[in-house]
């Protein structure tokens, strides 16, 4: 039967597992175990011994953030494990190595990433990581292209789609928390009190609510590829020279644009939070860095996606027999432009609603939350909300980062 691990029981329970014991080394009774989970859902332990260290992640049968009143199935660890295996295959070197998976106990033993820290924490501290745009742009292009009908054999993809289709409860969290709850007074919502007038305005905004529901429809129905499903800056661990994507328990077959939108939204929120982190000095360089990262991430994603389109388009969509085999290279490029255009417009929409839900919904971001002065916090959050509304509602008409940067700068300085 499933039993949650504790710091005390972990050595005796995982000591007999060779893959764990060999990596950690020494007697399990001498292992140093710490519970370090600070996410919304799971237990996370770091286990250190005389030879090395591992991370042990275990799902709980409920949402940790809320408590036992909100049950959540353990099978999410199964989806996380299978997503990590696929991500490693499709974008090697960008996820932690897996050493052991126990489906019944909903636990995964994986590589201890050190001296990595969570990207969100690094950005709050004002670190300018040199690799994130390149690494995450490549991660998204490779996992999203190679998990789609542009690349996979149709039967294999359909079987995989059926496997992940059972991740219903985690999709349900996103469907409610991202696309619906922020736009009415849902029970678990909260926001900084100074935002009251703006929140009222947004909840009465018909265009915005229609757009959020159109995006929810896309999220639920456009089963294009295996997405990470929760690719925010808390799902990335970094050093100056290494980037790893963690926590794909929300993985399912959804729109290519979803991961891209969620990641860029979290960079935009980091941008709008800078005013709140200026006690120790100017954050002007950080603002410029974040806008550069946003643009470069998209550019790397677009270029790598285009490269894969030209060299690895082995799936059933936009088949070569329609284009290259007839010497119609321009036709293939035209089709690529259409696909990228859709990803761009959808990405902007997903980014807009992700910004809203992190300020108006249940699960907030440390970028804003650690700003104690609620007046200052609201002064950061309000422009972010306005920016989110603009990009969600006007996504079909926005064509460049020039416009987006100018708008972000203008709202931030008002």
> Which residues of the shown chain bind ligand SR1 in the complex (CB under 6 A)?
40-41, 63, 65, 173-174, 177, 230, 363
Q: Residue 304's binding partner, choosing from ligand SR1, Mg ion, none, with beta-carbon cut-off 5 to 8 A by kind?
A: none
39 sits near Mg ion (criterion: CB under 5 A): yes
Asked if 80 interacts with Mg ion (CB under 5 A), we say: no
Q: How far is the CB of 366 from ligand SR1 (least distance, A)?
A: 12
Residue 65 touches which member of Mg ion, ligand SR1, none, C-beta under 5-8 Å by kind: ligand SR1
Tell the smallest beta-carbon distance from residue 190 to ligand SR1 (Å). Answer: 13
How many alpha carbons lie under 13 Å from residue 53 in its C-beta half-sphere? 12
User: Which of these ranges, 200-208, 245-253, 271-279, 327-335, lies near Mg ion under the rule CB under 5 A?
Assistant: 245-253
Helix 206-221 to helix 168-179 angle (10° resolution) is 170
CA distances from 89 to 82, 97, 257 (A): 11, 11, 21
- The size of the interface with Mg ion (CB under 5 A), counted in residues, is 2
- By beta-carbon proximity to Mg ion, the closer residue of 234 and 349 is 234
The torsion angles phi and psi of 227, rounded to 5 degrees, stand at: -95, 155
Name which of 88 and 403 has its Cβ closer to Mg ion: 88
48 binds Mg ion (CB under 5 A): no
CB count in 10 Å sphere of residue 201? 14
Q: Which is nearer to Mg ion, 111 or 247 (CB)?
A: 247
**In the complex, minimum distance from the CB of residue 240 to ligand SR1, in angstroms, rounded to a whole number:** 25
For residue 230, the minimal CB distance to Mg ion (Å) is 5
Of the two residues 133 and 177, which places its CB atom closer to ligand SR1 in the complex?
A: 177
In this structure, the dihedral spanned by the alpha carbons of residues 232, 212, 182 and 298, taken in order and rounded to 10 degrees, is 20
Angle at alpha carbon of residue 72, lines to 68 and 77, rounded to 5°: 125
Rg, the chain, Cα only: 22
Contact 191, 199 (CB under 8 A): yes
Cβ nearer to ligand SR1, comparing 81 with 344: 81
What's the sign of the alpha-carbon dihedral 147, 148, 153, 155?
positive
- How many Å apart are CA 188 and CA 181, to the nearest integer? 8
Contacts of 365 (CB under 8 A, 6+ apart): 120, 232, 234, 266, 269, 273, 358
Rounded to whole angstroms, how far apart are CA atoms 254 and 106? Answer: 24
What token pair was written down for 318? 């936009």
Closest distance between ligand SR1 and the C-beta of residue 318, in Å? Answer: 32
Nearest approach, Cβ of residue 202 and Mg ion (Å): 26
Q: Residues 80, 247, 259, 304: which binds Mg ion (CB under 5 A)?
A: 247
Q: 155 to each of 161, 311, 322, how far by Cα in Å?
A: 10, 21, 21
Cβ proximity to ligand SR1, 111 vs 230, nearer residue = 230
Instruction: Kindly state the smallest distance separating residue 326's Cβ from ligand SR1, in Å.
Output: 45
Nearer to ligand SR1, 48 or 381 (CB): 381
Q: Which residues bind Mg ion (CB under 5 A)?
A: 39, 247
């Amino acid at each position: 039967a499933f039993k949650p691990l504790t710091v005390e029981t972990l050595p005796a329970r995982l000591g007999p597992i060779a893959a764990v014991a060999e990596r950690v080394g020494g007697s399990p009774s001498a292992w140093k175990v710490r519970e370090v989970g600070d996410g919304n859902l799971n237990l996370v332990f770091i286990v250190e011994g005389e030879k090395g260290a591992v991370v042990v992640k275990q799902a709980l049968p409920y949402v940790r953030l809320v408590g036992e009143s909100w049950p959540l199935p353990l099978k999410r660890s199964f989806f996380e494990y299978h997503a990590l295996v696929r991500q490693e295959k499709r974008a090697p070197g960008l996820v932690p190595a897996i050493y052991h998976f126990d489906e019944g106990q909903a636990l995964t033993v994986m590589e201890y990433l050190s001296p990595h820290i969570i990207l969100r924490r690094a950005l709050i501290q004002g670190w300018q990581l040199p690799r994130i745009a390149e690494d995450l742009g490549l991660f998204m292009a490779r996992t999203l292209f190679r998990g789609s009908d542009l690349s996979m054999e149709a039967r294999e993809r359909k079987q995989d789609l059926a496997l992940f289709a059972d991740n219903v409860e985690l999709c349900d969290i996103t469907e409610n928390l991202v696309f619906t709850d922020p736009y009415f007074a849902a029970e678990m919502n909260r926001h900084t009190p100074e935002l009251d007038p703006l929140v009222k305005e947004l909840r009465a905004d018909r265009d915005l609510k229609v757009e959020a529901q159109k995006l929810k429809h896309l999220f639920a129905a456009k089963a294009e590829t295996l997405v990470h499903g929760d690719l925010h800056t808390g799902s990335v661990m970094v050093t100056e020279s290494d980037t790893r994507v963690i926590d794909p328990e929300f993985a399912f077959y959804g729109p290519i644009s979803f991961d891209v939108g969620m990641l860029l939204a979290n960079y935009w929120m980091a941008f709008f939070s800078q005013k709140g982190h200026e006690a120790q000095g100017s954050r002007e360089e950080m603002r410029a860095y974040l806008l550069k990262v946003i643009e470069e991430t998209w550019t790397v994603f677009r270029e790598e996606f285009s490269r894969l389109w030209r060299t690895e388009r082995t799936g059933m969509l936009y088949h070569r027999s329609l284009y290259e085999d007839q010497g119609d290279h321009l036709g293939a490029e035209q089709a690529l432009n259409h696909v990228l255009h859709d990803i761009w417009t959808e990405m902007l929409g997903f980014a807009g609603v992700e910004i809203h839900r992190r300020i108006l919904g249940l699960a907030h971001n440390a970028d804003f939350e650690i700003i104690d002065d609620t007046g200052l916090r609201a002064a950061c959050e309000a422009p972010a909300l306005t920016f989110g509304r603009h990009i969600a509602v006007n996504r079909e008409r926005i064509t460049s980062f020039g416009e987006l940067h100018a708008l972000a700068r203008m709202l931030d300085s008002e």
